[in-house]
Chains A and B, each alone.
Chain A
Amino acid sequence: MRRQGLGQPIIFLAFQSEDEYMSLRESIENKDIALIDILDVILDKGVALKADLVISIAGVDLVYLDLRLLIASVESLVQAKAGNRKTVSSQEFDIQREELIDATGQPNKWKD
């Protein structure tokens, strides 16, 4: 399970159930995780031990919505980067794009 986000090298491992070299858990473990899933657990579900200072974020749902906008901008940034890389064929780019759209849960803005 890896993260996707700003400034990270984007390496996609397509989910291939037929891949005999990779177990199902490995292929899922290597999938990108959307920020929203991370925030959901670390803001809402992490253990709340009595502390001197705990930063609580009011209206987590609103934070999610704000983040959607941020994620959308990260997505286009990453797409531009992937498009500029010479080693990426257009077919691979399409696969990466679909993976990214899948990972972020964003609707597909691109027409195939």
Chain B
Amino acid sequence: MDGLIYLYGLIPTKEASERTFPSLKGFDGEGELYAIPIGNITAIVCNLDSEIYSEESIKDKTNNDMEWLQEKAFHHHETVLNLSKIFTIIPLKFCTLYINQASLETAVLSNEAKMMDTLALITGNEEWNLKIYCDDQVLKEQVSLSNPAIEAKRAEISQLPKGKQFFEKKKLDSLIESELEEEKNKVSEKIHAQLQQSALKGNVKRTWSNNVTGRKDNMTWNCVYLISTSNVESFLEQIQQYEKDMKETGWHFEASGPWPAYHFSSFSK
């Protein structure tokens, strides 16, 4: 058959032979997913008609048809997520395609050792994401009231003549701003350090701007953790406790997961 092979993920052949393979629809919504054993690694794939899914047509769709991208992105994610509930899986990037099975086999075999290491790392562990948000206004009030540097400055200003007070107050405002940023980083890093004690690995990500999140409060921390499955509940309880303790001071915690191990499967280097 003259078709493309869409690769979703890679699992240990041992698990593939011991567990029941689920019935899942492929990328085109018609074909079924199937497994191709390649030595110790088994590739999970579906077939795609190369005429409908040419490089050009996929590129055109991903760049110009947002609804298509949304549907297919969900499909890819849900499929890998469902597989990750049954198998230890290395998740592939969206739209990784091969022109034939031989080509796929070559790519897998040339990375087999690294893949086995990756599978060993993620077996029995889960990827969780934590985003920390902060309402600057609420925290600013706290910082402004409880920070010794700001308090000292305020006391100093109150002793000055009125004219001078105006400029000094401006300076105080910028001091509060910088103390606020410092406080946000300090708190986030402290929490990260505490959470890392119950995680195997922590991978700090870039925070997203309000334009991207669409939220009023600011993202101050975005991090993924690799956690042993048995530790997940206590890890989440810890986050819930932070939320309870810090809600009043403008902090908000959002955990999501378990994700397929997207951040801990990289073996490109």
Contact = CB atoms under 8 A, between A and B. Distances in A.
B74 A35 contact: yes
B248 to A, nearest CB: 16
A41 B266 CA distance: 12
Interface string B84-100: 00000011111111110
Given A5-B74, A31-B256, A70-B70, A48 B214 contact: no
B195 interface: no
Interface string B208-227: 10011111100000000000
Contact of A42 (B93, B107, B257): B93
Interface in B30-74: 55, 58-59, 62-63, 66-67, 69-71, 73-74
Nearest to B213: A105
Nearest to A42: B94
B46 to A, nearest CB: 14
Interface residues of B, number: 60
Contacts of A50: 107, 110
Residue of A23, A39, A51, A105 contacting most chain B CB atoms (<10 Å): A51
Contacts of B242: none
A55 interface: yes
Nearest to B133: A105
B117 interface: no
A33 to B, nearest CB: 6
B67 to A, nearest CB: 7
Nearest to B252: A102
Contacts of A11: none
Interface string B141-177: 0000000000000000000000000000000000000
Contacts of A47: 10, 90-93, 265-268
Interface string A9-40: 00000000100000111001101010111110
A31 B144 CA distance: 36
Interface of B: 4, 7, 10, 55, 58-59, 62-63, 66-67, 69-71, 73-74, 76-78, 80-81, 90-99, 103, 107-108, 110-111, 129, 208, 211-216, 232-233, 236-237, 240, 255-260, 262-263, 265-268
Q: What 6 A-B pairs are tightest by C-beta distance, nearest first?
A: A46-B93, A55-B95, A53-B97, A41-B262, A45-B262, A42-B94
